[in-house]
């Protein structure tokens, strides 16, 4: 089997904050050393909801990439690119739109949710309805196996699996599909091929999931079969057709442990965020002016950390001993709130210092980011082109 690719995208929102860092970005950084990873600026996705006010998409995309790099995303390990600079995404989106049932799109849970939430905009558009399909194209065009996303996006990955299955079912049965699959199985050697056929039968006739896994594992271990043969066998095994598009799995990103300054989810639009590039002075001021347990009106009033938005920050930045000190000091009015906040301030500043420093390198020389994205786009395009060749061929569009 070829290596499992990871793909994820983020809408260009400009400067990122600590919530992104503790949720998404640290996860991306961890994955980049384990898998070939592709991370991209989802600029077309931003237009599906913000077409009336696109703003400076290029600038906010580049700012966001500076923050990815500052957080430790490494362009020598991961491929970083911009969606709209790999126009093959649009071609695949168009071709998939031919087979995407309207009912499936209307039933995606984010569709109605967002329509209600963003009621100030006119989202009765074709682009907005089709946005999960655009996301499917983003994923399928790289044959990505893993898609790190937050909980709200899991239905989109599920939808993508269904689209891939439908595509493979419709177009994976080239002339002589079964004969070719049987011939491919023979190449595993007589003994393995026999075992494999038995496992396939067990799965297809009795729904034996264990047999499916073992049969897939057998294919995973094959080194002497061509990719075309392998995809035929994976597809034949699952009862679809040749596996032209790969069904991805969601890698659920844990919710960020980093709440906002008011205890709500950290978000730029709530005004409760610490940006990754906030100056130390601003960070200090933001934390010093954070609300605390409202019961502590005077320094001598005891408080309760469970009712204070500073407490969750201690869970991110303080060890056991420090947390015990907070509990004791707060509930007995032994410490003041500013005293209590100081270790959090120190923790945030220590975390942000190397991030700010790395960001500065990229801010000082904007061509660095441009070059990283240009390289990334090249690499992404090469991979996308390979898939599109197979997709065009499957749909009868390979002109020579």
Binding to ligand TRP in span 128-147, by CB under 6 A = 135, 138-139, 147
Closest CA to 13 of 81, 52, 66: 66
Instruction: Decide which of ligand SF4, ligand TRP, none touches 96; Cβ closer than 5 to 8 Å per partner kind.
Output: none
Q: Which stretch binds ligand SF4 (CB under 6 A): 10-18, 130-138, 291-299, 364-372?
A: 291-299
**What span, in angstroms and rounded, lies between the C-alpha atoms of 69 and 370?**
12
**What span, in angstroms and rounded, lies between the C-alpha atoms of 30 and 25?**
9
**What span, in angstroms and rounded, lies between the C-alpha atoms of 267 and 9?**
18
Closer by beta carbon to ligand SF4, 246 or else 258: 258
The answer to whether residue 12 forms part of the interface with ligand TRP (CB under 6 A) is no
The answer to whether residue 11 forms part of the interface with ligand TRP (CB under 6 A) is yes
DSSP E strands: which ranges in the chain? 6-10, 37-41, 79-82, 146-149, 249-252
The answer to whether residue 32 forms part of the interface with ligand TRP (CB under 6 A) is no
**Nearest residue to ligand TRP, scored by beta-carbon proximity:** 9
**What span, in angstroms and rounded, lies between the C-alpha atoms of 315 and 303?**
17
Closer by beta carbon to ligand SF4, 142 or else 325: 325
- Host H or E run for residue 158: helix 154-171
What DSSP assignment string belongs to 25-48?
IHHHHHHHTTS-EEEEE-HHHHHH
Binding to ligand SF4 in span 302-331, by CB under 6 A = 303, 305, 308, 310-311, 326, 330
* Of positions 25, 38, 41, 42, contacts ligand TRP by CB under 6 A: 42
φ/ψ region of 161 (left if φ > 0, alpha if ψ in -120 to 50, else beta) reads: alpha
Q: Give me the 327-366 binding string for ligand SF4, x by CB under 6 A, dash otherwise.
A: ---x----x-x--xx-------------------------
DSSP E strands: which ranges in 42-104? 79-82
- Residue 254 has a CB neighbour count (10 Å cut-off) of 12
The answer to whether residue 261 forms part of the interface with ligand TRP (CB under 6 A) is no
Task: Please state the closest distance from residue 344 (CB atom) to ligand SF4, in A.
Answer: 9
Task: Please state the closest distance from residue 329 (CB atom) to ligand SF4, in A.
Answer: 6
Binding to ligand TRP in span 153-172, by CB under 6 A = 153
Return residues touching ligand SF4 (CB under 6 A): 292-293, 296, 303, 305, 308, 310-311, 326, 330, 335, 337, 340-341
């Amino acid at each position: 089997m070829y290596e499992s690719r990871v793909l994820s995208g983020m809408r260009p929102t400009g400067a990122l904050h600590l919530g992104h860092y503790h949720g998404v970005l640290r996860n991306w950084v961890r994955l980049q050393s384990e898998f070939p990873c592709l991370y991209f600026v989802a600029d077309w996705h931003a237009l599906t909801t913000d077409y009336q006010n696109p703003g400076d998409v290029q600038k906010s995309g580049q700012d966001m990439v500076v923050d990815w790099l500052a957080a430790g995303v490494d362009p020598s390990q991961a491929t970083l690119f911009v969606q709209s600079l790999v126009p093959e995404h649009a071609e695949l989106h168009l071709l998939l739109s031919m087979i995407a049932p309207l009912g499936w799109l209307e039933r995606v849970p984010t569709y109605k949710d967002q329509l209600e939430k963003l009621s100030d905009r006119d989202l009765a558009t074709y682009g907005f309805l089709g946005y999960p399909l655009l996301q499917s194209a983003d994923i399928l065009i790289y044959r990505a196996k893993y898609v790190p996303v937050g909980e709200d996006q899991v239905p989109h990955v599920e939808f993508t699996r269904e689209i891939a299955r439908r595509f493979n079912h419709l177009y994976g049965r080239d002339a002589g599909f079964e004969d070719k699959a049987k011939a491919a199985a023979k190449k595993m050697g007589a003994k393995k091929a026999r075992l494999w056929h038995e496992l396939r039968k067990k799965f297809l006739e009795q729904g034996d999931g264990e047999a499916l896994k073992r049969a897939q594992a057998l294919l995973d271990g094959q080194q002497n079969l061509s990719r075309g043969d392998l995809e035929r066998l994976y597809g034949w095994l699952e009862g679809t057709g040749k596996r032209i598009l790969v069904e991805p799995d969601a890698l659920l990103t844990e919710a960020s442990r980093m709440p906002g300054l008011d205890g709500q989810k950290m978000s730029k639009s709530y005004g409760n965020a610490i940006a990754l590039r906030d100056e130390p002075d601003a960070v200090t001021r933001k934390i010093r002016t954070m609300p605390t347990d409202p019961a502590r009106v005077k320094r001598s009033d005891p408080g309760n950390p469970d009712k204070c938005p500073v407490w969750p920050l201690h869970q991110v930045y303080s060890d056991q001993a420090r947390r015990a000190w907070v509990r004791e000091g707060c509930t007995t009015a032994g410490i003041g709130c500013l005293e209590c906040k100081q270790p959090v301030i120190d923790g945030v500043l220590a975390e942000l210092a190397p991030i700010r420093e790395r960001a500065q390198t990229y801010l000082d020389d904007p061509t660095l980011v441009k070059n990283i994205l240009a390289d990334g786009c090249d690499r992404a395009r090469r991979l996308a082109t390979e898939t599109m060749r197979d997709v065009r061929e499957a749909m009868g569009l390979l002109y020579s």
